[in-house]
Amino acid sequence: MAESAGTNWAGNHEYRAKGVLHPASAEDARRAVLRALDAGGRLRALGTRHCFNDIADTSGELVAMTALPPRFELDEAARTVTVSGGARYGDFAEQLDARGWALPNLASLPHISVAGAIATGTHGSGDRNASMAAVVAGIEFVDGTGALRVLRRGDEDFDGAVVGLGALGLVTAVTLDVVPTFQVAQTVYVDLDWSTVLDNLNAITSAAYSVSIFTRWVGGVQQIWLKRVVGDDSLQAPETFLGAAQATEKRHPLPGVAADSCTDQFGVPGPWYERLAHFRLAFTPSSGQEIQSEYLVPRERAADAVRALLPLSERMAPVLQVAELRTVASDGLWLSSAYQRDVLGIHFTWKRDQAGVEAVLPAVEGALFPLGARPHWGKVFLDPDHAVPSMYPRFDDFRALVAKYDPHGVFRNAYLDRLLA
């Protein structure tokens, strides 16, 4: 049963857990909780290990939710699909498309588990696209008493439970809203100076269904990815965009990295699941040798946030691979970084140099926290003044929810101890 718990995907965190359990059913997961309760032990749900901090760790045992058998229950009348909590988006996207349906959006990669993604408020991009958690219509989970719970949108605790940081239980199934399938065409434009970007920030982020701005801060913006819905936005991408030319070769967001792992570009139409993510399921996403951080600022402070970071360009450069700016629409989920406000996500793909990253983050947080930035729960952040709880109006209600669903602290870990302290 017990095995070394290994590391997260990025390799910058070695799990301290005593071992990894592989439940074959929700009932197995329930029994694991009951055993932990009996023994006074601790458990923690583990998804696909793509977080960059210790959020998924435990002093007890990890529960590999990816071991649960696949589920695919499409309810066309309700426009929902129910999948196993351990499913990766890439595991069922094609099947969903083949039945004529789609998810409204994806994060940059299809490799992450659904329950792991929603637990941390994972998002893609698009002025009118809310986070991956916002399209959750229901969750089924084993709580800290061993009870199997179901919460649906509209239920009292639902809005607090979806972005749950793994604190309420082991999510065994997730029901997601679906929309009629659609095609997307992706075009990459290269090289814009900062003054054009800052003068036109809203025009850029609203220029397509999903937009990503990639920059190394020094030397302006190197790439803008426009993902247009075929038949909605005009399929034909403009020859130039605010003066920026279309890329003439396929681009990876990271400088000097081959683009084979990226979804198709050059405006070639394709199914939503092969365009909305930047990276293809069969390949290693991003660089693989990296650490990530992200801060989500209110949209009205977006340009101020960029201006506050530009003076740090030279300081960030030695540890930075690339940064990405994306927009996320507001939702009502208590711990969503887009809770009740539209946001601009400012993401950093750093080199895998933990000390170097932690040396530059105080300056980044010093620039962004005063503007109301909320850090991504699954990426590296410092928050030395323990300011994060005060960024969430419903944080005390979330504490109460944790106490209600996990009264014995089965799912508590060092990350939650710091956060809930």
Ligand X SMILES: Cc1cc2nc3c(=O)[nH]c(=O)nc-3n(C[C@H](O)[C@H](O)[C@H](O)COP(=O)(O)OP(=O)(O)OC[C@H]3O[C@@H](n4cnc5c(N)ncnc54)[C@H](O)[C@@H]3O)c2cc1C
CB-hemisphere CA count at 13 Å for 307? 11
What is d(CA 325, CA 213) in angstroms, rounded to the nearest whole number? 5
Q: Is 85 in the site for ligand X (CB under 6 A)?
A: yes
With beta carbons less than 8 A apart as the criterion, state whether 105 and 126 touch. yes
- Closer by beta carbon to ligand X, 123 or else 280: 123
State residue 81 phi and psi, 5-degree precision.
-130, 140
Q: Is 13 in the site for ligand X (CB under 6 A)?
A: no
- Closer by beta carbon to ligand X, 122 or else 183: 122
Residue 119 CB, nearest approach to ligand X (Å): 3
Residue 12 CB, nearest approach to ligand X (Å): 10
Q: Indicate which single residue of 44, 252, 301, 412 sits in contact with ligand X (rule: CB under 6 A).
A: 44
- Nearest Cα to 169, choosing from 386, 23, 331? 23
- Closer by beta carbon to ligand X, 43 or else 305: 43
Q: Is 192 in the site for ligand X (CB under 6 A)?
A: no
Window of 47-55, 189-197, 263-271, 305-313 that interacts with ligand X by CB under 6 A: 47-55
What is d(CA 161, CA 19) in angstroms, rounded to the nearest whole number? 26
Q: Is 46 in the site for ligand X (CB under 6 A)?
A: yes
Tell me the C-alpha to C-alpha distance, in Å, between residue 214 and each of 221, 243, 298, 335, 365.
6, 16, 19, 26, 20
Q: Indicate which single residue of 115, 211, 237, 322 sits in contact with ligand X (rule: CB under 6 A).
A: 115
- Residue tagged 């982020």 (tokens): 205
- Nearest Cα to 312, choosing from 406, 218, 394, 418? 218
Residue 52 CB, nearest approach to ligand X (Å): 7
Q: Is 329 in the site for ligand X (CB under 6 A)?
A: no
Looking at this protein, which amino acid is placed at residue 32? A
Q: Is 45 in the site for ligand X (CB under 6 A)?
A: yes
The residue at minimum Cβ distance from ligand X is 116
**E strand or H helix at 82, and its extent?**
strand 80-84
- Closer by beta carbon to ligand X, 122 or else 327: 122
What is d(CA 203, CA 217) in angstroms, rounded to the nearest whole number? 20
Q: Indicate which single residue of 23, 60, 116, 160 sits in contact with ligand X (rule: CB under 6 A).
A: 116
What's the Rg (C-alpha) of the chain? 21
With beta carbons less than 8 A apart as the criterion, state whether 186 and 273 touch. no
Window of 90-98, 107-115, 304-312, 401-409 that interacts with ligand X by CB under 6 A: 107-115
- Closer by beta carbon to ligand X, 108 or else 205: 108
User: Which residues within the stretch 266-295 sit at the binding site for ligand X (CB under 6 A)?
Assistant: 285-286, 292
- Closer by beta carbon to ligand X, 301 or else 379: 379
Q: Indicate which single residue of 166, 253, 298, 375 sits in contact with ligand X (rule: CB under 6 A).
A: 166
Tell me the C-alpha to C-alpha distance, in Å, between residue 171 and each of 86, 100, 126, 257, 419.
8, 27, 27, 36, 21
**E strand or H helix at 117, and its extent?**
helix 114-119
Cross-strand pairs, 64: 46
- Contact string (CB under 6 A) for ligand X, positions 118-147, x = contact: -xx-xx------------------------
Q: Is 244 in the site for ligand X (CB under 6 A)?
A: no
Residue 278 CB, nearest approach to ligand X (Å): 8
- Closer by beta carbon to ligand X, 77 or else 421: 421
Per-residue tokens: 364: 């980044």
Specify the pairing of strand 43-46 against strand 221-229. Answer: unpaired
What is the contact surface with ligand X in residues (CB under 6 A)? 9, 44-51, 55-56, 65, 85-86, 107-109, 112-113, 115-117, 119-120, 122-123, 165-166, 170-171, 285-286, 292, 376, 378
